[in-house]
Structure 1
Amino acid sequence: MHEEFNALTKQHTWDVVPKSEGVNVIRCMWLFHHKYRVETQLDFRCSTSDSSLFIFHSGAYTAYLLLYVDDIVLTTSSHDLRNRILSQLKDEFSMTDLGKLSYFLGISMQRNPNSTFLCQKKYAEDIMQHANMTQCKPIATPVDTNSKHSSSDGSPIADITLYRSLAGAL
């Protein structure tokens, strides 16, 4: 974590400033708008469906850049376009190309010649382990849908932090 913070500071990705009074802190957004050669400009547009997804489209060339904190997933319509974008990013930022994507944000990716398979099995298993529920028997619906409860029934949750962590992971 300390190394990532130092890299972000070194690259002038952000400036640490005191929180203004009465202002809520929200997640940061990043926009990649970079000149590529003198005569051509790579202009990524922010997706209307996901503020972390940036799209480049020019003629037959298309690129999708997904940004999550300091991780980038890039897919392009050609190897040449991918190499050009990576070269520009490396010129601008300290970064490492980790090669073909195999796992990102809880989703594993498996490729074969005709398709790509996305799976969240490991992510679900990690949540089950975090909740100490790996030995539980599976059922179709883990909640009694006919049960009637009120706010005064039962005892409060012993570890609210664990509950919030599990709810947030879903």
Structure 2
Amino acid sequence: MIMSTLGYWNGPFRRWLGPAQRPTRGKADACQGCLGQTSGVNGIRWILHVDLDQFIAAVEVLRRPELAGRPIIVGGRGDPMERAVVSTASYEARAFGVGSGMPLRIAARKVPDAVILPVDQEAYLAASETVMDVLRAQPGATVQVLGWMKRL
């Protein structure tokens, strides 16, 4: 999961993410605290794009911190012998060529020591709502959800 280290967002996200995920620095660091505000002659408006890459795997690590650093594959009911596909894979599993949409059976062969977990949509929706609540709580923020969370 990648996030900017904007001071404006840092505290709420750090509390939500915990020590399992470390933020990376981006170009947006220069606008410390100015998100959602206008300034200057031209009335600059800031837009923040939040891409929650490997979100499902990150939620699983938050629920089970002992999984941090291990290859995690989430898909189906968590049984690679059943016909199912990978919903997401941690970066550690992706390093072995595992990706979303891949048959779970093939993913399990690529990473024999991976932790394979069943999809828990309720947990992911709750975590998603927590992130959205943090974003919506920012003064002047307008939040538009795109991607898989919109379908939940």
Q: Name the TM-score, length of structure 2 as normaliser.
A: 0.24
The structure whose residues are more often helix, as a share, is: 2
TM-score of the superposition, structure 1-length normalised?
0.22
Higher strand share: 1
Structure exhibiting the larger radius of gyration computed from Cα positions: 1
* Structure with bigger RCO (C-alpha 8 Å, 6+ apart): 2
